[in-house]
Each structure stands twice: as C-alpha cells, then as structure tokens.
C-alpha cells in the first residue's frame, strides 16, 4: 500500500481534447442562434492553473486568458511572455482601485467595471501610460447579494456618468449568472442582459461601443451563447476542477 500523504491524486486532464470539445459545443450553440462560431471568443480562465498547463492551452489554439486576481495575473503575464507566447489578458474578477496600476500595461479588457470610482482610477492610470483601456460593465442581473456589479436599472445612468473618461472605452457588458443545477434556470439572466446590450447599442453613444457581451461559464455557456453571448469565460471545462 502506498502511504497516504494527504495530497489529492492528480487526475490527468487532457487540455487539448477539452478545448476541442468545447469549440465544438460553442459552434453548435452559435449555429443554433443563427450566428457564425467565429463571432464567439473563447476565454480560457486560468485562475489556479500553473503556467505549464496554460502553455498547453495556448498551444491548443487559445489566444485569450482570463484571471480574477491581479497578482496572479501579473505572475502569469510574466511567465507566459517569458515562454515566448503572445496572448490577450482579460481581468474578469472584482478589481480594487489600488491594484489598477499593476495591470494597466498588460490588460486587454477589464470585464469587471462596477463603480464610477473604479472607472475614474482606470482612466487616470491609463492616461499615465498613454493607453485607452477597454472595459466591460459588470451587471448583477439577478441582484444577488454575494455578487459584484451594478443593477440593471442603473446601467443607463452609469453609462452617462462614465462617457467623460477619455482613456477608457466601454466595449460591452458582462455578467455572472447565479449558480444553477440546470442552465435553463438562468436563461432569463442572459436574455435580459442581451436586451440591455441591444438597447444601448441602438443609442449610438460616443465612447460606447457595444461590441462584447461576456456571459457564460463552464456550466452554462451554451445557453449564454444561444441568448447572444459573444465572449464565454471557461475554466473548469478546460483545466478540470480547481484545487
């Protein structure tokens, strides 16, 4: 008998195969909603995943990586670029104002803009480095206490308040649906956000390009795509259960 070290057994996860399978499912869901699969961006969520396994995903055709913590993202930006790969980095987690300065150089899109104060800080830091930073507004569609994001009926006012920040560009909306055993139970969340997305797009506001609708994770991405998502953020279904 082998001694019990208390460590979990490392179950082999075939990252390349998982990515291929997800791409097929994305394609099916896209076609079901009458869209081309090319319109859907797959973001591999790499929190708690070590660089060697992230490289496997990149070599299997992933170009976009999502992290929810600034320090972890910084470490991985360094590791992945040292390994000679070029990718787009997405900040998908709640962002504290005092951490913004650490990611202004490397981030491609911040998905989690959830306050005016944060917008102001991103704008200030972006100016300093001479960048325009792409952001998505995080909306707490189901109004869950445990989640960040502004409420649906605050979105229009929020947009009016942030158009003045020249160094941020609003590129769309993001949401995290409530946990549900059956993804059909959260379809309404995706549908509602898509409605808001389309309404804002129709208004043609300066500085606001409603281009990306970031919604859908491992458990619910197909339903999200059917309801209009064009960015899905997938961790577990690619890298296995997080430890």
Ligand X SMILES: *Cc1c(COP(=O)(O)O)cnc(C)c1O
Residues that bind ligand X (CB under 6 A): 45, 47, 68, 92-93, 176, 217-219, 233-237
From residue 212, alpha-carbon distances to 135, 136, 172 in Å are 10, 8, 5
The residue (of 17 and 160) whose beta carbon lies closer to ligand X is 17
Q: Give me the count of residues in the chain.
A: 243
Nearest approach, Cβ of residue 31 and ligand X (Å): 22
Residue sitting closest to ligand X (CB): 235
Q: Which is nearer to ligand X, 92 or 107 (CB)?
A: 92
State the nearest-atom distance from the C-beta of 176 to ligand X, in Å: 5
- In angstroms, give the least distance from the CB of 205 to ligand X: 26
DSSP 184: G
CB atoms within 10 A of CB 192: 16
Query: How are beta strands 41-45 and 64-67 bridged, if at all?
Result: parallel
108: left (phi over 0), alpha (psi -120 to 50) or beta: alpha
Between 47 and 127, CB nearer to ligand X:
47
Beta strand ranges found along the chain (DSSP E):
41-45, 64-67, 88-91, 107-113, 133-138, 168-174, 208-214, 231-234
Nearer to ligand X, 194 or 207 (CB): 194
Cβ closer to ligand X: 120 or 219? 219
């Amino acid at each position: 008998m082998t001694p019990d070290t208390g460590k979990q057994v490392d179950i082999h996860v075939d990252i390349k195969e998982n990515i291929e399978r997800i791409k097929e499912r994305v394609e099916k869901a896209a076609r079901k909603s009458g869209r081309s699969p090319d319109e859907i961006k797959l973001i591999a969520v790499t929190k708690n995943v070590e660089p060697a396994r992230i490289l496997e995903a990149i070599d299997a055709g992933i170009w976009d990586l999502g992290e929810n913590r600034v320090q972890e993202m910084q470490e991985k930006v360094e590791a992945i670029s040292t390994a000679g790969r070029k990718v787009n980095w997405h900040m998908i987690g709640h962002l504290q104002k005092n951490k913004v300065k650490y990611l202004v150089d490397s981030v491609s899109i911040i998905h989690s803009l959830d306050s005016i104060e944060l917008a102001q800080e991103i704008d200030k830091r972006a100016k300093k480095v001479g960048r325009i930073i792409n952001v998505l507004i995080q909306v707490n569609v189901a109004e869950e206490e445990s989640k960040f994001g502004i409420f649906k009926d605050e979105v229009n006012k929020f947009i009016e308040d942030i158009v003045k920040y020249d160094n941020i560009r609003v590129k769309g909306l993001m949401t995290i649906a409530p946990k549900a055993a059956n993804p059909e139970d959260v379809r309404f969340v995706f549908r509602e956000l898509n409605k808001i997305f389309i309404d804002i797009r129709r208004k043609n506001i300066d500085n606001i390009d409603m281009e990306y609708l970031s919604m859908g994770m491992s458990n619910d991405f197909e339903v999200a795509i059917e309801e209009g998502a064009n960015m899905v953020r997938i961790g577990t279904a690619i890298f296995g259960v997080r430890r």
